[in-house]
């Protein structure tokens, strides 16, 4: 990559940032957290790996972004790439124009927790740095290649045609990066059929054929699919009427329970953190052991389901905090897929150094790889691509554009 791109991921009270240039090792990154409170601060890593901690009491998004950019301005970023969770039906990264910002706003009902925070960040960076090109990179975009039989729900048609109710899928930046990188490592760049398991606090699976997403576990929102840290993943949709009729719960209470009190946390009644659960289970905690078992079984079930979207399976990629770091979870998940012919090597799996990429099967059957994700790197790459494309178009004479 020839330019450096500032990647911004704005949450409701936090901003993750990374300055991405050619060498991944040189990356400068950090997190502005507790925004709007007396305890607002920036924590991160600066040039040469030095740690940074800076108090910015009562700073909001704009002040925090101003501080981050002031600190990074001598690195001369040439563009800003914003992670945006929901792009509706936008199929690729886009230069931020008033029209694209409006499309992000229109997708807000589909991501009410995420898109408003992204818009606050976009608004602030547009005001602070009007001269820098800014690009939105959508979590949903990679999945826009899914066929209709994968993205349509069996619901009345008007909910799709008039209200856009369909599967969108998320973590697209990660699935795209990991499947590209993994297939390259496997010697078949963007070719063949691959399954990806992005396992972090939020988790999802994806089926990729010749470099394109053909199905994924998350749906209209990031709640559908596999078991997550605090999210339930798939449940019988009648849970809503059951809880309303029997416990008198309203829709907000049910939604909060499914999003924030379920998943690993709900099952274990202990923690949403996989490390804590593995430790507790080793010490005999049966709820923690069950949470892990449900997590792995449901993950395997999701991968098996998604495999229907692939003409053949060349292999499986694990990524995310759990997928990259837990040999135990990888082994247990693969053990629930005996009929796929996976041949996991216990030694390679157990000995893979944390945070590194590597193949962990015996060399027969579909391949199994661990591929650390790099969402920031991918966002920077897509941002640079959009900026280059736009400037190439701007340089073309009118006649050439007309026939392009
Ligand atoms: P992420 O959201 O990708 O940062 O992933 C967070 C999840 O990764 C948490 O559930 C952590 O407990 C889990 N995790 C990180 N390291 C390990 C590890 N060594 N073993 C098991 N889980 C881990």
Claim to verify: residue 131 and residue 214 sit in the same structural domain: no
Q: Global pTM?
A: 0.93
Claim to verify: residue 189 and residue 218 sit in the same structural domain: yes
Claim to verify: residue 327 and residue 237 sit in the same structural domain: yes
Claim to verify: residue 129 and residue 29 sit in the same structural domain: yes
Q: Which of 177, 228, 275, 376 to mutate to test the pocket of ligand 1 (most atoms within 8 A of CB)?
A: 275
DSSP 353: P
| Domain assignment present for 401 | no
Residues with CB under 6 A from ligand 1: 200-201, 229, 273-275, 278, 320-322, 325-326
Tally of domains in the chain: 2
Catalytic residue, chosen from 26, 123, 139, 215, is: 139
Claim to verify: residue 305 and residue 390 sit in the same structural domain: no
Q: Are 82 and 122 in contact (CB under 8 A)?
A: yes
Full domain range(s) for residue 36 = 5-138+376-395
Q: How far apart are CA 269 and CA 264, in angstroms?
A: 8
List pLDDT tens digits, range 291-329: 999 999 999 999 999 999 999 999 999 999 999 999 999
Q: How high is the pLDDT of residue 354?
A: 86
| Domain assignment present for 56 | yes
Q: How far apart are CA 261 and CA 265, in angstroms?
A: 6
List pLDDT tens digits, range 2-53: 568 999 999 878 999 999 987 666 789 999 999 999 999 999 998 878 899 9
How, if at all, do strands 51-55 and 41-45 pair? Answer: antiparallel
Q: In what order do the strands lie in the sheet with 15-20?
A: 51-55, 41-45, 28-33, 15-20, 5-10, 79-84, 134-138, 94-95
Claim to verify: residue 369 and residue 380 sit in the same structural domain: no
Residue 202 alpha carbon, nearest atom of ligand 1: 2
Q: Could you give the percent of the chain with pLDDT greater than 90?
A: 82
Q: Are 175 and 218 in contact (CB under 8 A)?
A: no
Claim to verify: residue 315 and residue 196 sit in the same structural domain: yes
Q: Are 356 and 306 in contact (CB under 8 A)?
A: no
| Domain assignment present for 165 | no
Angle between helices 239-247 and 251-260 (to 10 degrees): 120
Residue 139 known to be catalytic: yes
Claim to verify: residue 351 and residue 384 sit in the same structural domain: no
The CATH number covering residue 20 comes to: 3.30.420.40
Claim to verify: residue 115 and residue 180 sit in the same structural domain: no
Claim to verify: residue 321 and residue 384 sit in the same structural domain: no
| Domain assignment present for 246 | yes
Which are the contacts of 400, defined by CB distance < 8 A and separation ≥ 6?
none
Claim to verify: residue 246 and residue 190 sit in the same structural domain: yes
| Domain assignment present for 163 | no
Q: Which of 274, 318, 330 to mutate to test the pocket of ligand 1 (most atoms within 8 A of CB)?
A: 274
Tally of CB atoms within 10 A around 344? 20
| Domain assignment present for 16 | yes
Q: Which residue's alpha carbon is nearest to atom 15 within ligand 1?
A: 321
Q: How far apart are CA 310 and CA 307, in angstroms?
A: 5
* Token output for 154: 């069996």
CA of 131 from ligand 1 middle (Å) equals 39
CA of 244 from ligand 1 middle (Å) equals 34
Q: Could you give the percent of the chain with pLDDT greater than 70?
A: 96
Place of tokens 């690009």: 135
Nearest to 313 by CA among 208, 236, 165: 208
CA of 376 from ligand 1 middle (Å) equals 18
Q: How confident is the model at residue 250 (pLDDT cuts 50, 70, 90)?
A: very high
List pLDDT tens digits, range 212-235: 999 999 999 999 999 999 999 999
Report the range of poorest mean pLDDT among 55-69, 193-207, 323-337.
55-69
Claim to verify: residue 129 and residue 243 sit in the same structural domain: no
Backbone angles phi, psi at 141, to 5 degrees: -60, -45
Q: Which residue's alpha carbon is nearest to atom 19 within ligand 1?
A: 325
How, if at all, do strands 315-319 and 193-199 pair? Answer: parallel
| Domain assignment present for 329 | yes
| Domain assignment present for 57 | yes
Q: Are 203 and 225 in contact (CB under 8 A)?
A: yes
Q: Which of 320, 321, 324, 371 to mutate to test the pocket of ligand 1 (most atoms within 8 A of CB)?
A: 321
CA of 325 from ligand 1 middle (Å) equals 7
Q: How far apart are CA 86 and CA 108, in angstroms?
A: 8
CA of 256 from ligand 1 middle (Å) equals 23
DSSP string, 160-199: HHTT--S---S-HHHHHHHHHHHHHHTT-TT-SEEEEEEE
Q: Is the confidence at residue 259, as pLDDT, over 80?
A: yes
């Amino acid at each position: 990559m020839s330019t450096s791109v500032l990647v911004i991921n704005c949450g409701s009270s936090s901003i993750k940032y990374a300055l991405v240039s050619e060498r991944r090792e040189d990356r400068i990154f950090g997190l502005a957290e507790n925004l709007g409170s007396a305890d607002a601060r920036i924590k991160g890593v600066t040039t040469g790996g030095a740690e940074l901690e800076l108090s910015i009491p009562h700073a909001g998004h704009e002040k925090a972004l101003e501080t981050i950019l002031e600190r990074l301005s001598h690195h001369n970023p040439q563009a800003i790439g914003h992670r945006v969770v929901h792009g509706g039906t936008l199929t690729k990264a886009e230069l931020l124009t008033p029209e694209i910002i409006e499309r992000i706003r229109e997708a807000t009902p589909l991501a009410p927790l995420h898109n408003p925070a992204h818009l606050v960040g976009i608004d602030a960076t547009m005001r602070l740095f009007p001269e820098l090109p800014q690009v939105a990179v959508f979590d949903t975009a990679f999945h826009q290649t899914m066929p209709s039989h994968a993205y349509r729900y069996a619901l009345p048609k008007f909910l799709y045609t008039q209200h856009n109710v369909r599967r969108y899928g998320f973590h697209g930046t990660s699935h795209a990066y990991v499947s590209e990188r993994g297939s390259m490592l496997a010697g078949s760049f963007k070719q063949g059929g691959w399954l990806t398991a992005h396992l972090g606090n939020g988790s999802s699976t994806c089926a990729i054929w010749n470099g394109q997403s053909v199905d994924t576990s998350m749906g209209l929102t990031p709640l559908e699919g596999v078991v997550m840290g605090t999210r339930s993943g798939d449940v019988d949709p009648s849970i809503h009427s059951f809880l309303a009729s029997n416990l008198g719960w309203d829709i907000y209470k049910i939604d909060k329970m499914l999003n924030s009190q379920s998943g690993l946390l709900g099952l274990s009644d202990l923690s949403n953190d996989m490390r804590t659960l593995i430790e507790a289970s080793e010490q005999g905690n049966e709820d923690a052991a069950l949470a892990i078992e449900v997590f792995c079984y449901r993950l395997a079930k999701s991968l098996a389901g998604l495999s229907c979207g692939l003409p053949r399976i060349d292999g499986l990629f694990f990524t995310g905090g759990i997928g990259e770091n837990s040999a135990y979870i990888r082994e247990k998940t693969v053990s629930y897929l005996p009929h796929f012919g996976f041949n996991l090597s216990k030694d390679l799996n157990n000995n893979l150094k944390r945070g590194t990429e590597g193949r962990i099967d015996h060399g027969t059957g579909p391949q199994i790889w661990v591929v650390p994700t790099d969402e920031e790197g991918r966002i920077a790459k897509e941002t640079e691509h959009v900026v280059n494309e736009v400037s190439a178009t701007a340089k073309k004479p009118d006649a050439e554009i007309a026939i392009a």
